[in-house]
């Protein structure tokens, strides 16, 4: 009998591997799969692993199976996968697993998509493949793919508000273009990578001339780019207008997003845009990047009421980058 802690180790491994292509798999979640053989060792020998491909297909199980020859699979070969294998009428992961001869599968999480939910699991069970579902304490896959789970349950994009502020709460410095450090800006480019779309207000678009992309070495993601404006404006190539008056109801914003294939949107500013979404409770999390510097050359209208925000929301995480602090808040 294989020790339970061995299964836990491999389940945690596939969950952690799921982060590798996060934000690069389109509307599909970022999933990882590992194939382990126990013929020669109770600790197991990893035969292969696979990730959801960039763009969303092929899936992780197919990529893992394609790396090994069928004669390497024995009656002691086990598959670990962070999300339930998909089941469709055509070629799918569940059928590929059955065809491979693997007789035992450990699954970290069930698919929240009602079209997929438990179908892959039940298909494999029906065909005598032993299925083991991870207990909740091992299932951090839901947190890693929080955007995917949110979209499946709420049928609207996950909305993240981001704002950079000084130590004394100002979001604009008339003397310097950047409030936070280059290290913090790099971190936020990684954050951009996990979102399908990025939006700014029209004033920020004019003043900052932003590119609204993820600028990381070796990664080129073409995020959807939105400018929030009261009227349609002539914008740069590949930029789209979201027509919104800050007196409008939030549903007007969400209705316009339905025209685009996105699971998530990162709204970056400035303060008027931030306040609209915050005051209308149209967000799922807030990311505040607070620098150590004190801004003296700004105006009152650019000052965030930080004490009120902290009173109304719960601090979810806090990371220090040099002299900057990046905090995430949720209800």
Residue 41: helix, strand or coil by DSSP?
A: coil
What phi and psi values does residue 237 have, to the nearest 5 degrees? -55, 140
For the chain, helix, strand, coil in percent to 5 are 30, 25, 45
Rounded Cα distance between 102 and 72, Å, is 10
Predicted confidence at residue 2, as pLDDT, reads 42
Class in CATH terms, 156-330: alpha beta
Architecture of domain 4-145: 3-Layer(aba) Sandwich (3.40)
Q: Is 23 left (phi over 0), alpha (psi -120 to 50) or beta?
A: left
Mean pLDDT of the 260-283 span: 94
Residue 310: helix, strand or coil by DSSP?
A: helix
Predicted confidence at residue 59, as pLDDT, reads 97
Please report which confidence band the pLDDT of residue 221 belongs to, taking 50, 70 and 90 as the band edges.
Answer: confident
Rounded Cα distance between 315 and 265, Å, is 21
Mean pLDDT of the 195-203 span: 94
Least confident among 214-228, 270-284, 287-301, 304-318: 214-228
Q: What is the pLDDT of residues 79-137, one digit of tens each?
A: 999 999 999 877 899 999 999 999 999 999 999 999 999 999 999 999 999 999 988 77
Mean pLDDT of the 4-32 span: 93
Q: What is the pLDDT of residues 37-94, one digit of tens each?
A: 999 999 999 999 999 999 999 999 999 999 998 789 999 999 999 999 999 877 899 9
| Residue 234 near residue 227, CB atoms below 8 Å | no
Run of H or E residues at 161? strand 158-165
Residue 5 has pLDDT above 90, yes or no: no
Residue 1 has pLDDT above 50, yes or no: no
46, β-bridge pairs = 36
Locate the domains of the chain by residue range. Answer: 4-145, 156-330
The mean of the pLDDT values for the chain is 92
Q: Give me 248's structure tokens.
A: 């409008």
């Amino acid at each position: 009998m294989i020790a339970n802690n061995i299964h836990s180790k491999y389940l945690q491994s596939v969950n952690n591997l799921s982060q590798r292509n996060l934000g690069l798999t389109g509307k599909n979640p970022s999933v990882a799969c590992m194939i382990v053989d126990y013929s020669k060792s109770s600790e197991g020998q990893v035969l292969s692993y696979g990730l959801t491909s960039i763009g969303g297909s092929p899936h992780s199980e197919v990529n893992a199976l394609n790396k090994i020859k069928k004669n390497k699979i024995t009656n002691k070969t086990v598959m670990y996968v962070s999300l339930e294998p998909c089941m469709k009428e055509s070629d799918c992961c569940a059928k590929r697993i059955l065809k491979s001869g693997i007789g035992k599968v450990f699954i970290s999480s069930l698919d929240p998509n009602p079209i997929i939910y438990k179908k892959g699991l039940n298909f494999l069970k029906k065909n005598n493949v032993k299925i083991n579902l991870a207990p909740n304490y091992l299932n951090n896959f839901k947190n890693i793919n929080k955007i995917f789970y949110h979209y499946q349950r709420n049928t609207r994009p996950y909305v993240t508000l981001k704002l950079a502020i000084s130590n004394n709460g100002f979001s604009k410095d008339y003397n310097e273009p950047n409030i936070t450090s280059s290290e913090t800006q790099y971190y936020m480019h990684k954050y951009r990578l996990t979102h399908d779309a990025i939006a700014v207000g029209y004033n920020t678009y004019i003043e900052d001339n932003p590119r609204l992309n993820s600028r990381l070495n070796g990664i080129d993601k073409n995020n959807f780019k939105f400018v929030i404006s009261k009227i349609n404006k002539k914008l740069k190539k590949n930029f789209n207008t979201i027509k919104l008056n800050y007196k409008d109801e939030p549903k007007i914003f969400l209705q316009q997003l339905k025209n685009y294939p996105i699971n998530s949107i990162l709204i970056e500013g400035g303060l008027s845009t931030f306040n609209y979404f915050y005051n209308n409770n149209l967000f799922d999390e807030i990311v505040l990047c607070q620098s150590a510097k004190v801004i003296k050359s700004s105006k009152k209208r650019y000052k965030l009421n930080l004490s009120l925000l902290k009173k109304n929301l719960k601090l979810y995480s806090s990371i220090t980058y040099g002299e900057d602090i990046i905090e995430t808040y949720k209800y």
